[in-house]
Structure 1
């Protein structure tokens, strides 16, 4: 004879499914199906209602998921948002998971009118369904059907409420992450986040394009590799310095990399420390690698530096040549001035830009936007904050 699952087995299978659905929306229809069977509920609905826009963000039935961005949300789910949904009362009666920190409604009346699992200033998460009057389900029978259903609802619904909070937090974090990544993709220089072993945890569009176009660099199985041994050693040293700076040493480094196409690409490595560090075994040191896009940097002209820092035209030219990797003597030769005069210009540039060393100045110049701010409305000679 086949083995029939007990009520406890059904309950734990349902709870596992509920929390799985909090992490993966596609698992929600299956969870609602198990909920329907376990609580003897017809047509269970789950709805995330956006209060600000007045529309559903997500609607779920045992037959599938519906969203405002994709499939049309059925009218029945929209109607659920207009019902007088009641708040899930939490009494914290006990610490055990099987204890019910919730007042069970008579015959599931609250569920029929919609239960508010989560209510914030922005969203309301509702759940609804109807009882199977006069019908028998697994574990239901005789005159005890109503009381048994109420006990099962009281046992399960607090888990739905907890899962709803988890789900909304995941939605929020995913949305913020998507916005952040979209912003990094809009930059005109490469951004990478690396571990100490050169494993790439993130790369924006420009970083991927720069690596793909350079035969000296490659992304192999998620690891940044340099075919040139000298470049490989240099990158490792820059990462080590950024992640584990020595006493009195700046926790950053830069390197002018000449690509296989002969283009100079500045590589700047900075420490990456979260404002709220992750505690525990998952915390790893990371570094952010900025890879300059030399094509976009070519539009950086003297008016940009004049607008931002009040540099003279000659000072701006000297600064731009420094950013391009030219030495002091090369600048003197190209500009027909003495090396002493170049040093004086560099001293004044450092003072006006608030930097203290040429390496700091070069990093700053590589991060400047490739647009003439004067043409965007900043008056000539004015100072603008970054």
Structure 2
């Protein structure tokens, strides 16, 4: 490629007479391989991971991914990521950081299919000078040197962003690397659009609906974008009865309470991330509704084809005024009367602190009872124990 392109990066004041560099044959070959890897994920149902691996190696990227982000508030609702430490996505989803993330804000404001970076090849500055306190703390901890990204598309009020952070040891992204990224940009857009269509496909929904309706308990299935693929009649009836939760026009689960909506969406998004990583941990949300308490158990679904990954939601309604059958709980969970009383409190959504206060015991004793329940029933995590208790008694 001998032709040189004169261009202006958005928001920059550098001399527009300076051309982008051309690509040599070796670099062009590497670019073509990136494009091939990107599209191969559609063919063999591996998603974006192979492309991420190749991108990370070619551009010496530290971490990044493709993120679906709502506009107001700015929240991550789904995504495919690479390079982050274990548990980062869950922490990020459930924090306020997306609303303060300068990188997300910057890339969302770009024209679609146009990569930009923070430093734009200027090695006399550092990204830490540009970022706010919250982002700066994270960037400093991981040794971030630069970040590049683009707005891929806007889909149903969700901005889809591709971003790639880089370690300071490799310096800022160069003009040549940004040129390559911008050549990749329309291919990334095409691949993401095709993936979104696969995830939104209703081809299996009729069979799924029939299967769910054969089960009497309320069930919902969320697809990999956080939308409801199907909800059986029992689930819809329960939502109508509670009046506190509803399925919106965007096919997401909402609450009239904005804080609860955010809690729901964060939990669903976290479970979606876990489905992509093959983690099957169930988490349970508890929602008060007058004299009733609604429990929602969210379990990641890992399918043979990644576009069928998602989340199973089981809904349970409890009357908070009913006295639990502690003797039955002792038999079911092989526990003492004191441990059964703690198990009953866990089903009501209480933590160790609230249990200690209600039972007038120390927090240490409450936690020890929980540890005993875990050990006796073969669970490692409290979230798994709570889900088991809810399912057994719901």
TM-score class, shorter: 0.3 to 0.5
TM-score norm. by structure 2 comes to 0.41
TM-score norm. by structure 1 comes to 0.42
The higher relative CO (CA closer than 8 Å, separation ≥ 6) is in 2
